[in-house]
Amino acid sequence: MEIIGFIGIGIMGKPMVKNLIKAGYSLLIYNRSTKPLEECRKEGAMVASCVKEVAEKCSIIITMLPDSPDSEEVITGEKGIINYAKKGTIVIDMSSIDPTVSIKIATKLSEKGIEFLDAPVSGGEIKAIDGTLAIMVGGKKEIFEKVIDLFKILGQSYTLVGDVGAGNFTKLSNQIIVALNIAAVCEALIFAKKAGLSPTVVYMAIRGGLAGSAVLDNKGPMMINRNFKPGFKIKLHQKDLQNSINAGKLLNVPLPLTEKILEILKSLLDSGFGEEDHCAMLKFFEKISGVEVKD
């Protein structure tokens, strides 16, 4: 059976690896820290000692990394995949990065005859565990179709949205909506609490109406229960919004609301909350309002 390479076994990568193993795939995995590697080894994954080993042994390689510099280093860096992979290898970068970097990576790989898809995901740890991620893919249709069976295991939806880079442009659009939605939930629950209402009762009253959303259902109860365990960290959402602002400048698109939320996330980073879930944006609104959202 063909061995699938997977590099980057973090909050998202680990459950994705486990789901591929459960589906019957053979996985060769690599990560800088060893703890998640051992956990996945117990599930049946093979562990590589370096990127080179993955690149030499696998014709399909998935990467799930924190940011643009990480993707560049692992894929096209001095010790990256590009230096060891065979012609015809397919690299699927499922990281959320700057779309211009995805295009840059694809151009370099193409010169070596290596195919590339940028395929960032949305849904956080919960949907990674359930295998119900939304996958946004940029690249050639024929390459997308070759690996679509992998996407079917990892996601509930998997859409080819355009050429390379389109996946991450779509993901940034997603992240803008999610960030603004979280901020709206924060403001609304603060407003309700200040009015002397139960945040839980207000949440239950509005969730079935037009204000209802996946963000409200996922993040509202977390805020009320003060559960800030990261499914998606503030520091990563800050990174995504910064990439959105950077891309917006290239496209000459003003993003005033995104800029405001980016300022809030930066202030939370400065206050030491970068490792918490992005619903901890609530702490900013609580501080300026002088009230805690809890029953």
Nearest 5°: phi and psi at 118? -100, 125
Distance CA 123, CA 155 (A): 9
Q: What's the residue count for the chain?
A: 295
DSSP strand pairing (26-30 vs 155-162): unpaired
Domain 3-164 architecture: 3-Layer(aba) Sandwich (3.40)
Residue 34 CB neighbours (<10 A): 11
Burial (0-12, 13-18, 19+ Cβ within 10 Å), 24: exposed
| pLDDT recorded at residue 202 | 98
The reported pLDDT for the residue numbered 1 is 66
| Domain spans in the chain, listed from the N-terminal domain onward | 3-164, 170-289
Query: For 17-43, what is the mean pLDDT?
Result: 94
Q: Which amino acid is at 159?
A: T
Across all residues in the chain, what is the average pLDDT?
96
| Nearest partner of 146 among 62, 60, 63, 75, judged by Cα | 60
- The CB density around residue 149, as the number of other CB atoms within 10 Å, is 10
**Secondary structure element (H or E) that encloses residue 47, with its range:** strand 46-47
Q: For 1-23, what is the mean pLDDT? A: 95
74, 40 Cβ separation under 8 angstroms: no
Q: What is the Cα–Cα distance from 112 to 216, expressed in whole angstroms?
A: 45
Q: Considering only CA atoms, give the Rg of the chain.
A: 20
Of 49, 78, 70, 74, the C-alpha closest to 61 is 74
CATH topology of domain 170-289: N-(1-d-carboxylethyl)-l-norvaline Dehydrogenase; domain 2 (1.10.1040)
Q: What is the pLDDT of residues 49-102, one digit of tens each?
A: 999 999 999 999 999 999 999 999 999 999 999 999 999 999 999 999 999 999
Cα dihedral 162, 127, 286, 256, rounded to 10, equals: 0
Q: What is the pLDDT of residues 127-171, one digit of tens each?
A: 999 999 999 999 999 999 999 999 999 999 999 999 999 999 999
* Residue 151 CA from chain centroid, whole number: 15
d(CA 292, CA 228) in angstroms, rounded, equals 14
Residues annotated as catalytic (active site), given as ranges? 171
Give the whole-angstrom CA distance, residue 194 versus residue 22.
Answer: 48
Could you tell me the two tokens for 111? Answer: 């010169």
- The SS3 call for residue 46 is strand
High-pLDDT (> 90) share of the chain, %? 95
pTM score, whole prediction: 0.91
